Amino acid sequence: MTTDPTVATKMTTHGRDLVQVGGELAGWLAGPLQADGPVEVGNVHAPTGGGMSSVTILLDATFHRGGELTTKSLVVRLPPDDSGFAVFPSYDLRRQYDAMSAAAARVPVPPLVGVEDSSELLGAPFLVMEAVAGWVPSDNPPYVFGGTLYDATPEERRALQNATVDVLAGIHASPVDAVPVLLAEAGSDSLRAHVDAQREYYAWTHSRDGVRIPILERTFDWLEARWPADPGEPVLVWGDSRPGNIIFDGFAPAAVLDWEMAAVAPRGVDLAWMVLIHQFFQDIAEVFELPGLPDFCRAEDVHARYAEVTGVQVSDFEWYVVYAALRHGIVMSQVKRRMVHNGEETMPEHPDDYVMHRALIERLIG
């Protein structure tokens, strides 16, 4: 990382005309919003500070319902268009909608307005939710450099950390049969299915340019050689499980966001991802000789809180942390490719440098 880490990195995600999207949505929204007549759409804009994969659009919808004038702030999620250089090979918004619906009884999710499976209106399927007020720990620049979480007291940070673990416990207690597509993908061995899907994802990332990444392939081998003897029961997992995907009201969760990596898999998939992503940010801070937040999201604290809340001890936790590092490495390699494609960075000299946290992976697998 060569730029100032406290300044947001420019990352192109799409080339859509936001005003046009808002206008086309106006007619569709009348049904899901149960409007008495036409819906007026305004204040159409993109959010700042996050979002590396899906296209997110914010807007206000004004309409009459039951004779009363109402305005709602809405969030629209779409897959990236061709100009955005997709991070993932597919974007199934219906499965995200179903996963959120399944977890809604146990964790706060944004009020769901509706999902459109057809590409007829906007050229792609889309998902619409109500906006939720609050703040989000920043990814870009990472929260380890400043902001509400950084400036909080140790007690407030621990409260937020515990609340995030409690969110995981709630998601894991949700009915897996409420999302049949995820249950079917998990098959009879959910961990094997999850890892196999990551192999397919990795193959997809280098199918265009042929650049294989040795550190990722070594990590696959490390994981195979140390496969958990008992992964535990499969549960609904959030996938991108971390504070940066939660809107907070104070230090309490108000809405759990970003369900595109949801699956049915062992609990350790979510728990370790939360730990690994913070370690990724903390390492960046330490590279720049800054303190970061070394006491936040430590593995022993996260693991202990989860066991306290659920009564379940996740075994082979180190294995899941390495697996999280691998998963994140595949994602980051594709993000790097996209930034090179968009002229925001130069092509790395060594394939391993497509993975920003290669040193962290090397440390984990020895």
Task: Check if the beta carbon of residue 115 is closer than 8 Å to that of residue 94.
Answer: yes
| Cα–Cα distance for residue pair 79/88, rounded to 1 Å | 9
Q: Which residues, in sequence order, are CB contacts of 300 under 8 Å at separation 6+?
A: none
What the chain holds in terms of domains, given with CATH numbers, is 18-130 (3.30.200.20), 143-365 (3.90.1200.10)
| Confidence band of 10 (pLDDT split at 50, 70, 90) | low
CA angle 298-299-304, nearest 5°? 105
- Model pLDDT for residues 147-191, shown as the tens digit of each residue: 999 999 999 999 999 999 999 999 999 999 999 999 999 999 999
pLDDT value of residue 85: 79
* 1 pLDDT tier (thresholds 50, 70, 90): very low
Q: What is the pLDDT of residue 5?
A: 63
Q: How far is 158 from 293, CA to CA, in rounded Å?
A: 11
pLDDT digits (tens, 9 = 90+) for 264-305: 999 999 999 999 999 999 999 999 999 999 999 999 999 999
Q: Which residue, among 110, 364, 90, has the nearest Cα to 216 in the 3D structure?
A: 364
List active site positions.
240
Judge whether 232 and 270 are in contact, CB under 8 Å. no
Q: Which two structure tokens, joined as six digits, stand for 330?
A: 């595949």
**DSSP letter string, 98-143:** HHHHHHTTTS--PPEEEEE--STTTSS-EEEEE---SB---BTTBG
pLDDT at 82: 65
Name the nearest CA neighbour of 269 among 212, 325, 330: 325
**pLDDT value at position 11?**
46
Percentage with pLDDT > 90 across the chain? 87
pLDDT at 81: 75
Give the mean pLDDT of 28-43.
Answer: 96
In angstroms, the CA 121 to CA 115 distance is 12
Cite the beta strand spans of the chain per DSSP E: 40-45, 55-65, 68-78, 112-116, 126-130, 235-237, 246-249, 252-256, 263-265
Check whether 263 has a pLDDT greater than 70.
Answer: yes
Instruction: Name the average pLDDT for the chain.
Output: 93
pLDDT tens profile 117-147: 999 999 999 999 999 999 999 998 999 999 9
Nearest residue to 143 via CA among 251, 240, 281: 281
pLDDT in the model for residue 3: 57
pLDDT (average), residues 40-69:
87
CA 115 to each of CA 79, 140, 173, 242: distance values in angstroms, whole numbers, following the listed order: 13, 28, 24, 24
What end-to-end distance do the CA atoms of the chain give, in Å?
23
Overall average pLDDT of the 203-211 stretch: 95
Q: Is the pLDDT of residue 231 over 70?
A: yes
Q: Give the residue-averaged pLDDT of 213-231.
A: 97
